[in-house]
Amino acid sequence: MDETTPKESTVELEESIENQKKGSYLFHLYVTGMTPRSLRAIGNIKSICEDHLKGHYELEVIDIYQRPELAKDQQILAAPTLIKELPLPLRRFIGDLSEKEKILIRLDLVPKKDNTRDAV
């Protein structure tokens, strides 16, 4: 039987709702050692997160040479690969993440540009 009191359950629920309101993001970046491409990817995602998600993200960098089992579990075929776990939907990005505008759009951090013209 669950020993949680209604008050504790309510507090947990309120904390969960507050975290969702904050828009907490969870990222996993898979890299292959400290190569120039890996370092660029790390720098680029950190810059994006600090500029647009400050205080509302968690980033875990995983070296697939040191933790190959994690890469296998996530079916990582190329590196660097960034996986956005939360909020859903899950998204994958491959490369050094240097195309900042595309990354921001796919993360829903900036609106897509409307290329339609106003009818005259």
Continuous H helices in 53-106? 68-73, 100-106
Mean pLDDT of 38-57: 97
Complete edge-to-edge strand list for the sheet that includes strand 91-94: 57-63, 25-31, 81-86, 91-94
**Residue listed under structure tokens 């720098």:** 43
Is the predicted pLDDT of residue 26 greater than 60, yes or no?
yes
Q: Are 23 and 55 in contact (CB under 8 A)?
A: no
Q: Between these two residues, 19 and 86, which has the higher pLDDT value? A: 86
Which domains, and CATH codes, for the chain? 24-106 (3.40.30.10)
Q: Which amino acid is at 66?
A: Q
Q: How many other C-beta atoms lie within 10 A of the C-beta of residue 106?
A: 14
Tokens of 20: 């969702």
Mean pLDDT of 8-29: 67
Query: Residue 75, Cα to own-chain centre: how many angstroms?
Result: 17
Q: Which amino acid is at 36?
A: P
Q: How confident is the model at residue 21 (pLDDT cuts 50, 70, 90)?
A: very low
pLDDT at 111: 77
Mean pLDDT of 35-49: 98
pLDDT tens figures, 54-76: 999 999 999 999 999 999 999 99
Q: Are 106 and 51 in contact (CB under 8 A)?
A: no
Is the predicted pLDDT of residue 85 greater than 60, yes or no?
yes
pTM: 0.74
